[in-house]
Amino acid sequence: MPARPSDDAIRAFVALELDAMSVRRLLRVEEHLRGASGAPSATYATAANLHLTLKFMAELTPEAAGQLGPRLGALTAGRSGPSTSDLRLEAFPSADCAEVIVVALGDPEGALAGLARETEAVAALFGIPLEARAFKPHVTIARLKRAYDARRWLGPAVPIQVGECRAVRLTLFRSEPTTSGPSYVPLARHEFA
């Protein structure tokens, strides 16, 4: 049954949490970025905030979150966590006017895109609108303080051969703003097989 946004609506999202080795590898990429020539002022993701978002929900009621969380468990039952070793640095909206730096994850077999579609379908049962943009699997590692031409900064000085990135659980998070950036509170977690 679709949920109606209310005054107590929360900002929530469904994401893939990564294994400890993947997080360490991504943190090494962040360290290289910080020390690379031409590094602009940026806020870097903490280890706790490194994840791959499958679905963002701007206005989810607590009641809908309570029902959605358990329903997401069907997406992990009997499945191995998706993984990829095809990683590359990218900037959104573009490298010459970067605002966000991400590690883009290749999805040659479509496992990540398929899981995003399944997540969309479950969220739609609760009245959450479908995402208009195409799904691009990525992990956000830095948010720039202002738009920046990052082409030289993201060049060969930053190694991206960091190995495999592997998901270990699917989580419904609540996003809470703090003075030091967003804090993500897990509402429901489902482990992959």
pLDDT tens across 51-90, in order? 999 999 988 899 999 999 999 999 999 999 999 988 888 9
Residue 67 lies in a domain: yes
Residue 16 lies in a domain: yes
Average model confidence (pLDDT) across the chain: 90
Residue 146 lies in a domain: yes
pLDDT of residue 154: 84
Tell me: pLDDT of 5 over 50: no
pLDDT tens across 131-165, in order? 999 999 999 999 999 999 998 888 764 556 557 89
Cβ contact 131:184 at 8 Å: no
pLDDT tens across 180-192, in order? 777 899 999 999 9
Q: How many CA atoms lie within 13 A of 152 on its CB side?
A: 6
Nearest Cα to Cα of residue 161 among 59, 63, 89, 101 = 89
pLDDT of residue 36: 84
Cβ contact 153:40 at 8 Å: yes
Residue 5 lies in a domain: no
Tell me: pLDDT of 8 over 90: no
DSSP label at residue 192: -
Number of domains comprising the chain: 1
Residue 69 lies in a domain: yes
Which CATH number characterizes residue 21's domain? 3.90.1140.10
Domain enclosing residue 60, as ranges: 10-191
Residue 2 lies in a domain: no
Residue 143 lies in a domain: yes
